[in-house]
Amino acid sequence: ALAFAAERPLIHFTPEKGWMNDPNGLFYDRKDDIWHLYFQYNPNQPYWNQPLYWGHAISKDLTTWTHEKLAIGPEHADEGIFSGSIVVDHNNTTGFFNESINPDQRVVAIYTNNADIQTQDLAYSLDGGYTFTKYSENPVLNVNSTQFRDPKVIWHQESYQWIMTVVQAQQYQIQIYGSTDLKHWNLHSNFSAGFTGYQYECPGLIEIPIVGTNETKWVMFLAINPGSPLGGSSDQYFIGDFDGFQFKPMDSYTRLVDLGKDFYALQTFSDVEKTDGVLAIAWASNWQYANDVPTKGWRSSTSLVRNLTLDYISTNPEKKLLSLVQTPVFESNVSKSTEKSNITLQKNDSIDFNADSGVFEFELNFKVLKKLTYPEVPNLDLYISTKDGAESIRFGFNPVIQAFYLDRTTDAFKNPFYTGQISANVEPYLDNEYKVHGVVDRNIIELFFNDGAVTMTNTFFLSEEANPCTMNLTSNMNDEFHIRSVSFKELSV
Ligand code: FRU
């Protein structure tokens, strides 16, 4: 048996025990200033199985989470409360609330009841999101299908109605419904685009600001699984306009949210009062191997919370491509901080850092000095290793092919679908310069390139008692990489 037991991530949410997949029902309680996270949860075994519940956790800082009681559970053991969302019904459009319930705490969950068929159901909370009562006239939406799920609801102010996106999973359709009371829904339109994979899951439509302007665009998120071009499950998105009835993409491009293997079922938070972006969390795993990863007694973590904006990311004037820009949001203490700057790396140099806790972040800004071509294979390598150096993952950049890679083949976890080498092409930020922000949290590494223009999220599994404690920056060449600066912070909470 595998002896994996790195400690669990510290600044990423994990279930205390049992199995977790998609984040659900994300919302912010404006009255009590509390963030709520629900999630697909099997508390009984560390793998996906029914009965499946909505687990629940709360946070004050979007970084550390307190486990709460199960929020919603199914009627029968062979059923599940599948993915869905929460809205705050300030104006009591549902009639579920009386005057005594603060408008900022009128919490309604819209989720898929997975039984003989999949239907969209409601449950409301009279205590701000801790306990729920199922609506007596469920379901509120039934098309008599076994593959109809994952409702994400938002309030659309311009057309003054609730909007639901939900998938007809195996018909490859996102359906857009409207309602004035969350109980009665009218089909407005269907939307299909992008990679099909085996099926559509977890859609979401949200308005996102364009950096440096007063403009916004609408973004349609769509998860596919299995059959993503990256292998297994991953998230794609489309940018366009929404008039309350139909989503019209601005171009025909399918964009990927994250280029790593472990980033799926992203959901945005409801009721956040903030204009400089939209907050979201994803599930940091992949259905190809999620049920097999060598953690003990628990499985899966979420991603960090991300702030999402839109921007024209390329520095190439010929390209004017609007894309999602993602930056991590967390609050931690810095127990140790080091910074080095202006070093032109030579072949035997190694810039070394260490963080015994296995939790750290780094910012690396570098410039490629010479434009090399084949047969040169220059590499800037960053090894992230255990304290004794016996195990490591490797991360780096090759300027000839203009790509970053992550190599987790040395990992203790062996599974034929657990891709070992993952890469991401990134355009130079400025004149042959690149920026990398990395967050390493025991068994997960989230990478943000060029201020979040490209991201890559991957888990990794070192063996027993082995945390990723050291980072060494090296190159296989003289005078090829100039390190403008590299900073390293050991984190604690
Ligand atoms: C996505 C998903 C959803 C479904 C849930 C079941 O990961 O398959 O489509 O609602 O997980 O746990």
pLDDT digits (tens, 9 = 90+) for 461-485: 988 778 999 999 999 999 999 999 9
C-alpha of residue 309 to centroid of ligand 1, in Å = 26
Number of H helices and number of E strands within the chain? 0, 35
Q: What is the pLDDT of residue 102?
A: 98
Query: Residue 383, Cβ neighbours under 10 Å: how many?
Result: 20
Residue 290: exposed, middle, or buried by beta-carbon count in 10 A (0-12, 13-18, 19+)? buried
Strand order in the sheet with 392-398: 351-354, 470-475, 380-385, 392-398, 403-407, 421-425
pLDDT over 90 (residue 316): no
* DSSP single-letter state for residue 170: G
| Contact yes or no for 386/469 (Cβ under 8 A) | yes
* Lookup result for tokens 């629940």: 56
Domains by residue range for the chain, with CATH: 18-315+319-326 (2.115.10.20), 332-492 (2.60.120.560)
Q: What is the DSSP letter of 13?
A: -
- CB under 8 Å to 481, separation ≥6 — which residues? 344, 345, 366, 367, 368, 369, 378, 380, 475
- Would the pLDDT of 4 be above 80? no
Please write the tens of the pLDDT for every residue from 168-213: 999 999 999 999 999 999 999 999 999 999 999 999 999 999 999 9
Answer yes or no: 22 catalytic. yes
Contact between residue 360 and residue 488 where contact means Cβ atoms under 8 Å apart = yes
Dist. CA 151 → ligand 1 center (Å): 11
Q: Examine the pLDDT at 3 and tell me if it is beyond 70.
A: no
pLDDT digits (tens, 9 = 90+) for 251-303: 999 999 999 999 999 999 999 999 999 999 999 999 999 999 999 899 999 99
Instruction: Tell me the best of 50, 121, 145, 149 to mutate to test the pocket of ligand 1, counting ligand atoms within 8 Å of each CB and taking the most.
Output: 149
Q: Of all atoms in ligand 1, which is nearest to the CA of residue 112?
A: 10
**Which of 297, 359, 316 is closest to 64 using CA atoms?**
359
Contact 161, 178 (CB under 8 A): yes
What span, in angstroms and rounded, lies between the C-alpha atoms of 416 and 462?
A: 17
How much of the chain, in percent, has pLDDT values that exceed 70?
99
Q: How far is the CA of 328 from the centre of ligand 1 (A)?
A: 24
Token pair of 479 as six digits:
């005078």
Residue with tokens 């007596």: 136
**CA distance linking residue 123 with residue 131, whole number of Å:** 9
Residue partners of 98: CB distance under 8 A and separation at least 6: none
Any idea what DSSP says for residue 269? Answer: P
| Separation of alpha carbons 219 and 204, rounded Å | 8
Please give the pLDDT value at position 5.
55
Whole-number Å distance, alpha carbon 256 to ligand 1 midpoint, is 19
Selecting among 22, 89, 121, 258, the annotated active-site residue is 22
12 pLDDT higher than 50: yes
pLDDT of residue 411: 80
Summarize pLDDT for 82-136 with one digit per residue, the tens: 999 999 999 999 999 999 999 999 999 999 999 999 999 999 999 999 999 999 9
**pLDDT at position 315 over 80:** no
Higher local confidence (pLDDT), 353 or 318: 353
Pick from 202, 262, 283 the residue to mutate for probing ligand 1's pocket: most ligand atoms within 8 Å of its CB: 202
Alpha helices of 352-493 — where are they, by DSSP H? none
CA-based torsion, 478, 480, 484, 489: positive or negative: negative
pLDDT of residue 1: 40
What integer pLDDT is reported at residue 205 of this predicted model?
98
Task: Please state the rounded mean pLDDT for residues 152-162.
Answer: 98
> Tell me: the pLDDT tens digits for 43-92?
999 999 999 999 999 999 999 999 999 999 999 999 999 999 999 999 99
Higher pLDDT, 2 or 345: 345
Question: For the CA atoms of the chain, what is the radius of gyration?
Answer: 23
| ipTM above threshold 0.90 | yes
Q: Determine the Cα angle at 443 with ends 442 and 449, to 5°.
A: 95
Q: Which helix (H) or strand (E) holds 437?
A: strand 433-441
Task: Give the pocket of ligand 1 (CB within 6 Å).
Answer: 21-22, 40, 52, 82-83, 112, 149-150, 201-202, 265
When pLDDT is averaged across residues 160-170 and rounded to a whole number, the result is 98
Say if CB 449 and CB 406 are below 8 A apart. no
Cα→Cα distances 291→11, 42, 492, Å? 22, 12, 29
Given a cut of 60, is residue 2 above it in pLDDT? no
pLDDT at residue 175, as a whole number: 98
Q: How far is CA 311 from CA 38, 91, 231, 248, in A?
A: 30, 34, 27, 19
Q: Which amino acid is at 439?
A: V
| Start-to-end Cα distance in the chain | 32
Distance (Å, whole) CA 80 – CA 287: 17
Question: What are the backbone angles phi and psi of residue 104, rounded to the nearest 5°?
Answer: -80, -5
Give the model confidence (pLDDT) of 366-385 as tens digits.
999 998 888 989 999 999 99
Which residue among 83, 113, 228 is best mutated to probe the pocket of ligand 1, counting the most ligand atoms within 8 A of its Cβ? 83
Q: What is the Cα–Cα distance from 168 to 437, expressed in whole angstroms?
A: 37
216 to each of 176, 222, 270, 319, 374, how far by Cα in Å?
A: 20, 19, 17, 20, 43
> Highest mean pLDDT: which of 3-17, 237-251, 411-425?
237-251
Average pLDDT over the chain, rounded to whole? 96
